[in-house]
Amino acid sequence: MPIAAASAALTNHLRTSLERDGALHGMAVEAMTLTQARTNPGHGIALILWRVQPEENPGDTSPLRTASKADPPEGAGMRLRYLLAVRGHDSAAEQALLGRCMQALERNPLIQSAGEPGDIEAEALVVTLEHLPDETYLRLLDACGDPPPLLLPYMVHSMRLRPGMG
C-alpha cells in the first residue's frame, strides 16, 4: 500500500470511528507532516507522519535498512510512525478529545483494505500505541511548533493478508 494511501486510510478510519461514536464534534481530522504541523498549528486532530521504515523480516540477519522516503517495494510491509496530535480551544477539550481518539483506535486497531478486484491478497494496517524515549518525544513535540499540542505516538504496521483472511 502506498504511503499516502495508508495515511488516508488511517485518517478516514479515525474520522469514521469518532463520527460513529458521536465524538467528533465538528473537528477536522487530517494527515500531515512535521513541517505542516509546525507551520499550520490550527485546531483539530492531526495524524503527523514522522517516520517511514520498511518492515524487517523476522530472522533476517542482514544489516538493518535505513528509512526510505519512497514507497516500499511491491509486497513489502512498512512501519509508519505517526503522532496523534490534538489542538483545541482549551485544555479540558483537548484532553477529552485525545481520550476519545485513543478509545476509537483501541477499539478498532485493524484497518482492512480489500484491494482491487481480482487481487489474491488484501492488505491491512494494524494500529498500536508506541512508547518513545523521552528525548525523542520532546524533540518531536518541539518540532510540532507553538503552542505544543497534546501528542501520542502510534505505529501503523502495513501487512499483506493471506487469501481467506481478508
Let me know if residue 142 belongs to a domain.
Answer: yes
* Confidence grade of residue 57 (pLDDT, cut at 50, 70, 90): low
Please state, in angstroms and rounded to a whole number, the distance separating the CA atoms of residues 27 and 38.
19
Let me know if residue 63 belongs to a domain.
Answer: no
Let me know if residue 70 belongs to a domain.
Answer: no
Nearest to 30 by CA among 101, 113, 92: 101
Mean pLDDT within 137-143: 91
pLDDT given for residue 77 in this prediction: 79
pLDDT given for residue 149 in this prediction: 84
Q: pLDDT tens-digit profile of 88-108?
A: 888 898 899 999 999 999 999
Range of the domain at 100: 3-56+77-161
Mean pLDDT within 126-140: 94
Give the count of domains, the chain: 1
Let me know if residue 67 belongs to a domain.
Answer: no
Question: For residue 147, is the peptide bond before it cis, meaning its omega torsion is within 30 degrees of 0?
Answer: yes
Residue 15 has pLDDT above 90, yes or no: yes
Task: Specify the pTM.
Answer: 0.81
Residue 40 has pLDDT above 70, yes or no: yes
Q: What are 102's three cell numbers?
A: 485513543
Let me know if residue 65 belongs to a domain.
Answer: no
Let me know if residue 116 belongs to a domain.
Answer: yes
Mean pLDDT within 109-133: 77
**What burial letters (b/e) apply to 52-84, b meaning 16+ CB within 10 Å?**
bbbeeeeeeeeeeeeeeeeebeeebbbbbbbbb
Looking up cell 525523542, which residue turns up?
136
Let me know if residue 29 belongs to a domain.
Answer: yes
Q: Is 31 helix (H, G, I), strand (E, B) or coil?
A: strand
Least confident of 6-15, 32-41, 61-70, 119-128: 61-70
Q: pLDDT tens-digit profile of 26-37?
A: 889 999 998 888
Q: Please say whether the beta carbons of 153 and 132 come within 8 A.
A: yes
Mean pLDDT within 82-86: 94
- Return mean pLDDT, the chain: 82
Let me know if residue 66 belongs to a domain.
Answer: no
Residue 139 has pLDDT above 70, yes or no: yes
Please state, in angstroms and rounded to a whole number, the distance separating the CA atoms of residues 10 and 158.
11
Please state, in angstroms and rounded to a whole number, the distance separating the CA atoms of residues 47 and 141.
13
